[in-house]
Amino acid sequence: MKYLIISDIHSNIEALRAVIFETMSMDIDKYVILGDLVGYCASPNEVIERVRDINPAIIIRGNHDKFVSGLSDGRDFNRIAREADLWTRENLLTQNMDFIRQLPKGPVEVDGLFEIVHGSHYDEDRYILSSSEVLDEFYGSQWRITFFGHTHIQMIWAYDENNEDVEPNIFAIRDNKYEYKLDKNIRYMINPGSVGQPRDRDPRSAFAIFDSDKWTVTFFRVNYNIKIAQDKIRRAGLDEFFSERLAVGI
């Protein structure tokens, strides 16, 4: 079974379209989305409608979906992120607002094979960046593989229970395509990167495919029309930083 794992689309329809187009010929069996459909960019309705079209097997909510749909007070958001989310709230059609409001909270297991979370097993809004943070995740879960988003950085953390060793195997993948063979005796936390707002200084849209027969995860990067996404952000009157960062991947 081939699973397309995507996260952090953030209202960037140009990036989402590029990812769907790129993967159309890859015999994907199921789409899995790790949250943050909205926030930051200017096409929230288009993104939600396209996501509904592709009929994902599972989607969980992210911290931005939660705030935009009124399920959190957004206390932890910085000023410009909060403003962008309030703009999103005002501009979402009712049926799209209803859609993000009913998204389940992670962790959620998928087909008895792996687990998905937005930020962390403990909190959607927690960033997993250091080895001590990731160790907490391995202690808090039994699954061999967990996919997570939120940091917007493609990576794999590998944990060997026998020697309690945890290490980041990949930071910032630069290839268009990078296949990683997983070891059945090792546990993994895997981030597919962000579709709509990459933050590893590579502006290309990021995603991953998990192949449960071959037990591999393949990381991809794909170009999309950044200029159009930027123009929409400017026209919507959202903070200039959200437009600028797309060009440099920060």
Q: Rounded to 5, what percent of the chain is helix, strand, coil? A: 30, 25, 45
36 is a contact residue toward Fe ion (CB under 5 A)? yes
Q: Which is nearer to Fe ion, 182 or 192 (CB)?
A: 192
Give the containing element (helix H, strand E) for 22. Answer: helix 13-23
Question: Whole-number minimum distance, CB 206 to Fe ion, in Å?
Answer: 12
Measured distance CA(92)–CA(94) in Å, rounded: 6
Closest approach, Cβ 39 to Fe ion, in A, equals: 7
Q: What minimum distance in Å lies between the beta carbon of 14 and Fe ion?
A: 17
CB of 9 to Fe ion, least distance (A): 9
Distance in angstroms (rounded) separating the CA atoms of residues 92 and 98: 10
The separation between CA 222 and the C-alpha centre of its own chain, rounded to angstroms, equals: 15
Nearest Cα neighbor of 50 from 154, 195, 192, 223 is 195
Residue 138 or residue 198: which is nearer to Fe ion going by CB? 198
Cβ closest to Fe ion, residue 8 vs residue 137: 8
Is there binding between residue 125 and Fe ion (CB under 5 A)?
no
Those residues with Cβ within 8 angstroms of residue 181's Cβ, 6 or more apart along the chain or in another chain: 214, 215, 216
Q: Which strand ranges, in their side-by-side order, compose the sheet holding 108-110?
A: 108-110, 114-116, 145-147, 187-191, 155-160, 165-171
- Listed ranges 29-37, 71-79, 162-170, 240-248: which one lies at the site for Fe ion (CB under 5 A): 29-37
Q: Is 8 in the site for Fe ion (CB under 5 A)?
A: yes
Closer by beta carbon to Fe ion, 38 or else 158: 38
Total binding residues toward Fe ion, as defined by CB under 5 A:
2
Residue among 12 and 23 whose Cβ is closer to Fe ion:
12
Binding site for Fe ion (CB under 5 A): 8, 36
